[in-house]
Amino acid sequence: MSRRHGHNAALRGLLSEAGMSAAELARNVNRLAAGEGLTLHYDRTTVAHWLSGSRPRDPVPQLVAEVLTRGIGRLVSVAETGLAGARSQASGDGSDEDRADPLPRLVALARTDADPVRRVRLAHLVFRQHGVPDTEIRDMLETPGPASLRAGIGGPDVQRVRFVTSRFAAGWPRYGGGHARAALASYLGDDVGRLLAQPAPSAERRALLSAAAQIVQVLGDMSADAGLQGLAQRYSMYLEWRRLHKDGMRKVQQSWNSLHEQTRVCRVYVSNVPPGFFQTPPFAIALMEQMTRFQGTPNDVTEAVAARIARSRFLYEGGHRYVVLMEESVLRFRTADPEAMRGQLRHLLAVMPLAAVSLGIIPFTAQRTVWPLEAFYLHDDTVAVVETLTAEIKVTQPRELADYAKAFAGLAEMAVYGDPARDLIRAAIDALG
């Protein structure tokens, strides 16, 4: 049931910006909902109620934001539509209580996005591409029964989820995000959802959450590939669930998130690894395990990775712009195992079309006018964060900030963008074998 508030000037303004009538908005929301397996029968009268202050229940605000995103040509968040109630805000701007246990809402989102009728056929296509026998496919996709769930979660359950996820991560580019996503969303909403609801030892629980987070990352990439930026944003929001309150690397990552939240334009240069907001969970885990071993810090990699990956939500929220320059060496360094590297490189291809992202690659063959530098992040020309082996240095002096801005401009002139950049990424994928 809708709740009535004051007149929605924000929604009226967005309709004007999109050049869209109330009737057109209603038709487009109905059409988008049908593509996600929902049946809606909205008309201009419904939209008139929204403009008068009525707020529909989820997932309608998210659908409206998606329609307006496409109509305007920029990312429109649910909050911008003025339709976000308490439930809608839980997906991004809600209270601490809403965020305390987002798992049920994630499972509900996956079930909304799923197409169970097509699940088995699509899953078989993905697995057969990798030579998995039909008997093993059935075992992998078999929904856990009550007896096995009563026994709790164990190592084999986690291994199965990881295997299924890895096959989809490797296979979905062949079929496109608009097709294979239905099968993976169904797997998350049904099979993994049931596992997440069961008790488990701490180690198995964390491992399962880590595996589920990778599914969410892949679903976000699939949604972006299909042009569903609003849906990609909703998946991205749920990557925060794994934050636990312990000492270690987690605090560093969360402080970074606060800085990014305040930044409108972030210029980034990296010569070693992709920036955290571009990293996939498997890649981030491999990287941060190396850092933990080297530094001898408390091993809270799972929590730290969750905080680091949560930073990717700023790519979808609106109000942020990321201009990234990356040395080609970043694509070639074997920081993680080949499977994780493939997933990481494919993720770069998936985020390149985002409105908030500009990605340039500096080829090995570029004639250098600026030598390779240490990684740095320039936030709104007010602070630069420079990464060294032993410290992260914050630079605030105007003269030094000007030097970093000048260096970034010189590096940008050597970079390639668009299709030439994609070719370098695809070549790095092919080199993995």
One-letter amino acid at 108 equals A
Confidence class for position 305, pLDDT limits 50, 70, 90: low
Distant-in-sequence, close-in-space partners of 94: CB < 8 Å, separation ≥ 6 = 86, 88
Average pLDDT, the chain: 76
pLDDT for position 1: 41
Decide which of 174 and 134 is more confident: 174
Q: Do domains 3-89 and 244-433 have the same CATH topology?
A: no
Residues 337-365: tens digit of each pLDDT = 999 999 999 999 989 988 889 999 999 99
Residue 104 has what pLDDT? 66
Q: How far apart are CA 68 and CA 185, in angstroms?
A: 24
* Residue in the block written with tokens 């997440």: 196
What is the tens place of the pLDDT at every residue in 74-92? 667 777 888 876 444 433 3
CATH number, span 244-433: 3.30.870.10
What is the topology classification, in CATH, of domain 3-89? 434 Repressor (Amino-terminal Domain) (1.10.260)
Backbone angles phi, psi at 322, to 5 degrees: -120, 115
**Among 159-173, 289-303, 360-374, which stretch is predicted with the lowest mean pLDDT?**
289-303
Indicate the range of 131-140, 289-298, 346-355, 376-385 predicted with least confidence. 131-140
- Worst-scoring range by mean pLDDT, 8-22, 32-46, 237-251? 237-251
> What pLDDT does residue 390 have?
66
Is the pLDDT at 308 greater than 70? The verdict is: no
Residue 425 CB neighbour total at 10 angstroms? 21
Evaluate if residue 108 carries a pLDDT over 70.
no
Q: DSSP string of 352-406?
A: TT-TTEEEEEE-TTS--SS-----EEEETTTEEEEE-SS-EEEE--HHHHHHHHH
Q: Where are the domains of the chain?
A: 3-89, 101-241, 244-433
CA 257 to each of CA 38, 72, 196, 262: distance values in angstroms, whole numbers, following the listed order: 35, 28, 26, 9
pLDDT over 70 (residue 307) = no
The pLDDT of residue 142 is 54
- CB contact set of 427 (below 8 Å; sequence gap of 6+): none
Confidence of residue 301 (pLDDT cuts 50, 70, 90): low
Inform me whether the pLDDT recorded for 405 exceeds 90. Answer: yes
Higher pLDDT, residue 51 or 84: 51
pLDDT band at 182 (very low <50, low <70, confident <90, very high): confident
Q: What is the pLDDT of residue 200?
A: 72
